[in-house]
Amino acid sequence: MQIFMVDRASRPSPRWEEAFPDAQVLRPPFPATLPEGAEACWIGTDLADWEVHVEQRTRVHRVIVHSRHPHDEEGIRAFDTGAHGYCHTLANATQLRTIAATVTGGGLWVGPDLMTRMIRTVRSAQPRDPETPPEGFDNLTPREREVALAVTTGAHNKEIARQLGMTERTVKMHLGSVFKKLNVDDRVQLVLHLTRLRESHPTV
């Protein structure tokens, strides 16, 4: 995995070096494009113009924004400018590698609290349930339907498990099946699909 970091420092911190030993750090003045083969670009919010860099890089690369003081408002700004992930700068090496793998694999990396807020925002845009089930909903098992609908409330896996009387592992198993059957990649896309907003809001 070829990783690039847009940073003012000449080298990443030890934990970042452990996670991505072959990463390249891009310092000011930053090049307009990344070298060919770049799979992910990390951009820190300590850069004064980080949003400009995110908007530029996301046109051709998968971008992950990291922050030393993450909060929902900043995370939403990151995704509004096109980021594919948002996390804490001080995440450990294992977490950093997991985040990179998720994003380069085509997914989004969103913290649970921010994900809940995003889902509720999307859901509120379509407060009434559709009169007819969304495409593919009939292919879900009764339990999968319950889990899918619970996701639209913004509930975490632990909350869904408690509500439906199952383990978190079972919730994850059902969600994986739901994603596959409905051809969605993550919880936000699932909500968009179930509320019939996917065509008008292809990305969040």
What is the domain extent for residue 18? 3-108
pLDDT at site 204: 40
Mean pLDDT (the chain) is 80
Q: Find the CATH number of the domain harbouring 138.
A: 1.10.10.10
What is the average pLDDT across 141-170?
88
pLDDT at site 199: 43
Query: Where does 7-113 show beta strands of DSSP type E?
Result: 24-26, 40-44, 62-67, 85-88
Tell me: do 14 and 103 sit in the same domain: yes
Query: CA 91 to CA 12: how far, in whole Å?
Result: 13
If one counts the domains in the chain, the total is: 2
Query: CA 61 to CA 41: how far, in whole Å?
Result: 7
Query: CA 76 to CA 193: how far, in whole Å?
Result: 20
Three-state secondary structure call for residue 8: coil
Among 73, 108, 143, give the residue marking a domain's end.
108
Tell me: do 55 and 103 sit in the same domain: yes
Walk across the sheet containing 24-26 and list its strands: 24-26, 3-6, 40-44, 62-67, 85-88
At 24, give phi and psi (nearest 5°): -110, 135
Q: What is the pTM (predicted TM-score) of this model?
A: 0.65
pLDDT at site 144: 93
Instruction: Check pLDDT > 80 for residue 203.
Output: no
Instruction: Check pLDDT > 70 for residue 142.
Output: yes
Tell me: do 156 and 188 sit in the same domain: yes
Query: CA 136 to CA 182: how far, in whole Å?
Result: 6
Q: How confident is the model at residue 172 (pLDDT cuts 50, 70, 90)?
A: very high
Is-contact 59 41, C-beta < 8 A? no
Specify the higher pLDDT residue, 177 or 188: 177
Among 82, 108, 134, give the residue marking a domain's end.
108
Query: CA 146 to CA 163: how far, in whole Å?
Result: 10
Ramachandran sector of residue 82 (left: φ over 0; alpha: ψ -120 to 50; beta: rest): left
Tell me: do 98 and 167 sit in the same domain: no
pLDDT-above-90 percentage for the chain: 21
Among 81, 108, 135, give the residue marking a domain's end.
108
Q: Taking the C-alpha atoms of 34, 40, 46 and 48 in order, what is their torsion angle to the nearest 10 degrees?
A: 40
Specify the higher pLDDT residue, 65 or 31: 65
Half-sphere exposure of 10 (CA within 13 A, CB side): 0
Tell me: do 104 and 133 sit in the same domain: no
Q: What angle do CA 197, 74, 30 make, to 5 degrees?
A: 105
pLDDT at site 141: 93
Tell me: do 86 and 165 sit in the same domain: no
Is-contact 80 99, C-beta < 8 A? no
Instruction: Check pLDDT > 50 for residue 200.
Output: no
Three-state secondary structure call for residue 118: helix
At 85, give phi and psi (nearest 5°): -160, 155
Q: How confident is the model at residue 94 (pLDDT cuts 50, 70, 90)?
A: very high
What is the average pLDDT across 3-7?
76
